[in-house]
Amino acid sequence: MAVTTRTPLIAGNWKMNLDHLQAVATVQKLHWTLKDAGHEGDSVEVAVFPPFTDIRSVQTLIDADKIPFALGAQDLSAHDSGAYTGEVSGAFLTKLGVKYVLIGHSERREYHAESDEIVNAKVKAAIRSGLVPVICIGETAEDLERFGASAVPADQLAKALDGVSASSDVVVAYEPVWAIGSGQAATPSQAQDVCAALRKVLASALDEDAAARTRVLYGGSVKSGNIASFMREPDVDGALVGGASLVVDEFAAIVRFEKHVGV
C-alpha cells in the first residue's frame, strides 16, 4: 500500500441540537477558544455538522470571519431534484459551501430504516454533487457478539462503496453502535483492529492508493481524555464526535489532542 500523509479530521456532529442563533454563537466561541489556545489549524482539520436550518448562518459566519472550519451536513437525498418533499439535494448543499455530508449514520439506519442500498445511493449522490461523503458504519452489541468486531462494519462499507470510482474522495467513520452515547468507548486497540480491516475493504473496493489516502475516523463516546490514545493508532485518522462537540471547551480540547496530551 502506498505511503501517504493523512491530515487528521475532527468532526462535530451536532445532531438535532442548536438553532441558527445558537449555532453562530457556538462556532464563534469555538473559533476564539482554539485561537486563544494557539491552535493554528494547519495540522488538524475541523468540521462542524449543524442541522440543515443552521447551515446558511454558519456558512456566512465562516466566510465572513475567515474561520478555518469545514462545513458539513447531516444527510442528503439520494435524488438530485424532483418531487421529494422534505428532502435536501446534494446540489443545494454544494451551493451553500458544504464540503462533507454524513451518510448512513446509525440513527438514520435505525430510525429511518436506511438500508445498505439507500446508503450506497446517497454516497453516489454526494459524489455527483461534489461533496465528500462521510460513510458511517458500525455494529450493535448483538452484531459484535454474533459476528465479531469487524464483520458487520466491513460488510456495510463494501456495500456503500459498490460502484464508486477509485478516484472518489470519501471519509469513513467507524462508530460502534454499542459505544455511542454510552460513555463506554471501544479501546484504542479495538478501534485500530476495525479501522485496519476497513482500510483493507477500501483497497479491495477501490484500490491501494485510495485505501492509503482515505481517512478513517473513530466515533463513539470520544472525549478529550481518550482522543489522544485513539490518535496514536496508525489507522485512526480522526474522530466523529457527537455530544461532546456541543460543549465548546471539550470539543476544542479534542481538536487540540496533539497539545494537551501528546501523541
Q: Which residues are catalytic?
A: 105, 175
Give the position of cell 465528500. 132
Scored b (16 or more CB within 10 A) or e, 172-198 reads bbbbbbbbbeeeebbebebbbbbbebb
In this structure, are residues 245 and 13 in contact, taking their beta carbons and an 8 Å threshold? yes
User: How far separated are the first and last CA of the chain, in Å rounded?
Assistant: 24
What SS3 class is residue 217?
strand
Amino acid letter at 50? P
In this structure, are residues 93 and 125 in contact, taking their beta carbons and an 8 Å threshold? no
Give the position of cell 469545514. 70
Any bridge partners for residue 134, and if so which? 102, 171
**How far is 22 from 27, CA to CA, in rounded Å?**
9
Amino acid letter at 7? T
In this structure, are residues 39 and 259 in contact, taking their beta carbons and an 8 Å threshold? yes
Q: Within 10 A of 32 (CB to CB), how many other CB atoms are there?
A: 14
Orientation of helix 20-36 relative to helix 248-255, angle to 10°:
50
Element (H, E) at 136: strand 132-137
Cell readout for 76 is 442528503
